[in-house]
């Protein structure tokens, strides 16, 4: 797949992940359109898993990633309690927790 089509496909997939996350965690943002660590242009995968990233000063963010840990969407920084509540709602909707390290562009 060429770069242009990979980005277009990835953007479509990421927009669905953002909507899913915004429904439970409020404002959410795109992170990665393409898989990291690949030598070809591959969009992030369709499957949605969640994880929580710890921040500073008792904050956390909820992320939606694919099965390889490529983060597709990230919430704003929330209190750890609110992040846990959002994650619980995702889990109640059938979204599984990602158990590995998520990939971020930092």
Q: Is the distance from CB of 34 to CB of 14 less than 8 angstroms? A: no
Instruction: Say yes or no to pLDDT of 23 above 90.
Output: yes
What backbone phi and psi angles, to 5 degrees, belong to 6? Answer: -65, -45
pLDDT score at 41 = 93
Does residue 56 fall inside a structural domain? Answer: yes
Share of the chain above pLDDT 90, in %: 93
Instruction: Answer yes or no: is 51 within a domain.
Output: yes
Q: Please report whether residue 102 resides in a domain.
A: no
Q: Write the DSSP symbol of residue 70.
A: B
Could you list the residue range(s) of the whole structural domain that residue 41 is in? 3-97
Q: What is the mean pLDDT of residues 26-48?
A: 94
DSSP 103: B
pTM: 0.93
pLDDT value, residue 38? 82
What is residue 33's predicted lDDT score, i.e. its pLDDT? 95
């Amino acid at each position: 797949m060429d770069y242009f089509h990979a980005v277009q496909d990835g953007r479509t997939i990421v927009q669905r992940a953002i909507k899913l996350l915004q429904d439970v965690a409020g404002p959410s943002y795109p992170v990665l359109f393409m898989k990291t660590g690949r030598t070809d242009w591959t969009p992030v995968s369709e499957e949605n898993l969640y994880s929580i990233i710890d921040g500073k000063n008792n904050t956390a963010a909820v992320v939606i990633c694919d099965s390889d840990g490529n983060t597709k969407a990230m919430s704003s920084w929330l209190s750890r309690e609110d992040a846990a509540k959002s994650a619980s709602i995702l889990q109640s909707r059938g979204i599984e927790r990602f158990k590995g390290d998520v990939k971020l562009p930092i």
